[in-house]
Amino acid sequence: MSLFELQRQLRDHLLSEEKAIADRIRGEPQKGLAVYHHAYRAQLVDCLRDTYEKVAAWLGDDGFETSARRYIETHPPRSWTLGDYGANFVDALAVLYPDDPEVAELAWLDWALRRAFDGADAEPVDAAQLDDVDWDRAVFTFVPTLRLNAVVTNCAALWSAMAENQMPPLAERLAEAANIRVWRRDLTSHFKTISPREARALRLGVEGMSFGEICQIAIDETDEAQAVAAASELLGAWLSDGLVCRIR
């Protein structure tokens, strides 16, 4: 048998306990195969537990392990790095827990913060050096770790309580949908719950719309003075939080 065929057979055993590989092994094949079959899954469960630490705390050991093992059965790893494993766990949890939206939302926070942790470096612009910017035409480049997600639950409060080893509050739906942005400044990952107005402006800014165009959309919907004041406040927050790494 070729090496390629043998490797396919051992892979199939890892994934589905396919027995064909046993004929290629001396002695008592099941003893050794069981070691590899167990190690494959145990390592992936550990990886998910490490990445999705707050989800694991929220679901408890049994609930998390059950969810992780169901994910593993349908998501064989393909990347060279374990860091990528779990990229679809948020979506999988949304399917597994359709009546508990806080689970997938907590998972999104875990995943976005982990990706921000070792995401690309970027130096935020210095707010004190922006005298020459033509704000009407200004287009922003945001730090590459910035992520935005719409949420319907108090997942941020749950995450924060668990991070501080406090008893988390009960999960509940928010009175109105909110948004959370995640980003990293220097070496520290952050998240912040933001208004629908900021979320929309941020999405437009990420898409490349100029600050003047973003302001104009707001002016068209409300009075000019209010819109300009609100946009200035948003801009101040983006700059002081270190979200913007280039203005052109």
Partner 1 sequence: MHSPKPFHGFGLGLRPPHYQDFLARNVPVDFVEVISENFMVAGGRPLRIMDAVRERFPVAMHGVSMSVGSADGLREDYLVRLKTLADRVRPLWVSDHLCWTGVEGFNSHDLLPLPYTEEALEIVCANVLHAQDVLERPLLLENPSSYLVFADDVMSEWEFIAEMCRRTGCFLLLDVNNIYVSGTNHGFDPMTYLAGIPADRVRQIHLAGHSAGRDLLIDTHDHPVPAPVWNLYEAALGRVGPVATMIERDDNIPLLDELLAELDIARSRATAWRGAA
Return residues touching partner 1 (CB under 8 A). Answer: 1-4, 6-8, 10-11, 14-15, 23-29, 31-33, 35-36, 39-40, 43-44, 47, 76-83, 85, 116-121, 144, 184, 187
DSSP code at position 27: S
Identity of the residue, 10 or 161, whose beta carbon is nearer to partner 1 in the bound complex: 10
Identity of the residue, 82 or 96, whose beta carbon is nearer to partner 1 in the bound complex: 82
Least distance (Å) between residue 106 CB and partner 1: 22
Least distance (Å) between residue 115 CB and partner 1: 9
Identity of the residue, 84 or 241, whose beta carbon is nearer to partner 1 in the bound complex: 84
Identity of the residue, 15 or 229, whose beta carbon is nearer to partner 1 in the bound complex: 15
* Cβ density class 16-44: b for 16+ within 10 Å, e for less: eeeeebeeeeeeeeeeebeeeeeebeeeb
Q: Are strands 244-247 and 140-142 parallel, antiparallel or unpaired?
A: antiparallel
What's the half-sphere exposure (Cβ side, CA atoms, 13 Å) at 233?
10
DSSP code at position 81: S
Least distance (Å) between residue 97 CB and partner 1: 26
Least distance (Å) between residue 124 CB and partner 1: 14
Closest CA to 141 of 216, 205, 185: 205
Structure tokens at 208: 């490349």
The number of beta carbons lying within 10 Å of the beta carbon of residue 139 is 14
Identity of the residue, 117 or 172, whose beta carbon is nearer to partner 1 in the bound complex: 117
Strand partners, 180: 149, 193
Least distance (Å) between residue 208 CB and partner 1: 22
Identity of the residue, 76 or 169, whose beta carbon is nearer to partner 1 in the bound complex: 76
Least distance (Å) between residue 233 CB and partner 1: 29
Long-range contacts of 214-222 (CB under 8 A, 24+ apart): none
Structure tokens at 19: 């027995």
Least distance (Å) between residue 116 CB and partner 1: 8
Closest CA to 48 of 77, 6, 22, 16: 77
Q: Are strands 173-185 and 244-247 parallel, antiparallel or unpaired?
A: unpaired
Helical (H) or strand (E) element with 194: strand 188-194
Identity of the residue, 51 or 154, whose beta carbon is nearer to partner 1 in the bound complex: 51
Structure tokens at 205: 């800014």
